[in-house]
A = this chain, B = another copy of it.
Amino acid sequence: MITTEQLDAALRTALETAGRGYRGANPLVGACVLDAEGNIIATGFHLGAGHPHAEVDALRRLGKMSPAKARELTMVVTLEPCNHTGRTGPCARAIAEAGIGQVHYAVPDNTAASGGADYLRSQGIQATQLECSDAARNLNQRWFIAKAEGRPFITVKIAQSLDGRINAPDGTSKWITSEASRNHAHGLRSRVDAIMVGTNTAVIDDPRLTARTPTGELHERQPFRLVMGERELPNDLALMQGDDWEQILTRDVHEAIVRANELGFGHLLVEGGATVASAFIAADLADEIYCYQAPLMIGAGSSSVNMPSTSTLSEARRFRLDSASRESLTRLGDDIALHLEPLPRG
């Protein structure tokens, strides 16, 4: 018989395990499998879109066993198992096929993937929602907001000096941040569906916006390139290599997101420049921020975040170090990197 304390402990472990994944088009999810005495015998997590879901990951780590043994097992998962065939098969079916006896989940799934608990029950598996689900809901609070607003999960990248500058008065900025930070940012690019930059950044910096390995090779998965803004673009920009790019003729972030949705993107990375990044932050559309700080003080030049409408401190946007991430405050070469999430809204 598994006690309430053991379920609570399993949920805490599942929440911690969830933090090993990356935020993005899918929510962070963690799972634990308990034996009949309530000992945790396997954990699993969802690394990100295209990877196995947490439940399937935990089942894989568990290995094969007899149906009688499996029937004694309990799974604790931070989110209701999905009932949806996307890039991976539905988790509810995988759990039923593994023969797990009971499932406890923290947060019900109200998205298109819902119905997992009902499916499990139809297969004779006890599926129960845990009572204390606040932490599990908070884990993905911004993902739920993005879903509720019918838009992609949005990551904003900022690369600045310690004093919040992105260049010197003459425009020099290459490279403010370290090689380790740039490699980290390329990892980000390799996980998103699309990158967005402003027209000025596209023209002035002329970036390729490809996701490259530290040795300069292309990652297997490449982001779509979106350029936002009304400025006319020359025809020979580096980002125009291949067909996977588009200019969105607007300065309005909400209009830009509508188009990103039409194109089917679940995870958008806003790389800048400062005007575009600031517009997303000001509109409360930054679901997470990676802020790379190079260890220098420039003392002049452009600021990383500009919100001209701010007049008093209470209008500032507030964040916290990502509470799920194990690397929310790290060193990247000589730089420091902050992984931030917006504070929950009132």
Chain A residues packing against B (C-beta within 8 Å)? 160-165, 167-170, 172-174, 176, 278, 281-282, 291, 295-301, 303-321, 329, 331, 334, 336, 338, 340
For A303, give its contact among B163, B170, B309 (CB under 8 Å): B163
Q: Give chain B nearest CB distance to A332 CB in angstroms.
A: 11
Per the bound structure, the CA–CA distance linking A311 and B278 in Å amounts to 24
Chain B residues whose CB sits within 8 angstroms of the CB of A298 once the complex forms = 305, 307, 310, 313, 316
CA distance A16 to B169 in the complex (A): 40
- Inter-chain CA distance A308–B168, complex, in Å, is 10
Interface class of chain A by DSSP = loop
Contact A291 B336 (CB under 8 A): no
Are A164 and B167 in contact, with the CB atoms below 8 A? Answer: no
The distance from the CB of A4 to the nearest CB of chain B, in whole angstroms, is 32
Which residues of B lie under 8 Å from residue A340 when comparing CB positions?
162, 295
Tell me the smallest distance from the CB of A76 to a CB of chain B, in Å.
29
> Could you say which of A163, A295, A310, A334 has the most chain B C-beta atoms within 10 Å of its C-beta?
A163
A282 to chain B: which residues have CB within 8 Å? 299
Cβ 8 A contact of A312, one of B164, B168, B334: B168
Known: A298-B313, A334-B320. A303 touches B161 (CB 8 A): no
- Listed A/B pairs (7) with beta-carbon separation below 8 Å: A164-B164, A173-B313, A295-B321, A297-B307, A298-B305, A300-B310, A303-B303
Q: Which residues of B contact A176 (CB under 8 A)?
A: 313
Number of copies of this protein chain within its complex: 2
* Pair B311/A295 contact, Cβ less than 8 Å: no
- Counting chain B CB atoms within 10 Å of each CB, which of A174, A281, A300, A310 scores highest? A300
CB-based contact B295/A299 at 8 Å: no
> A338–B336 contact, CB under 8 A?
yes
Top-8 shortest CB links A-B: A164-B164, A299-B307, A163-B305, A172-B313, A300-B310, A296-B316, A163-B164, A168-B313
A282 and B306 CA atoms in complex are apart in Å by 24
Inter-chain contacts of A314 with B (CB < 8 A): 172
**Other 10 A-B pairs with CB < 8 A, given A162-B164, A329-B331:** A162-B305, A164-B304, A165-B303, A172-B314, A174-B313, A295-B318, A297-B305, A298-B313, A300-B306, A329-B329
A162-B310 contact in complex given A319-B296, A329-B329, C-beta closer than 8 Å: no
- In the bound complex, do residue A319 and residue B303 qualify as a contact, i.e. CB atoms below 8 Å apart? no
Inter-chain contacts of A160 with B (CB < 8 A): 163-164
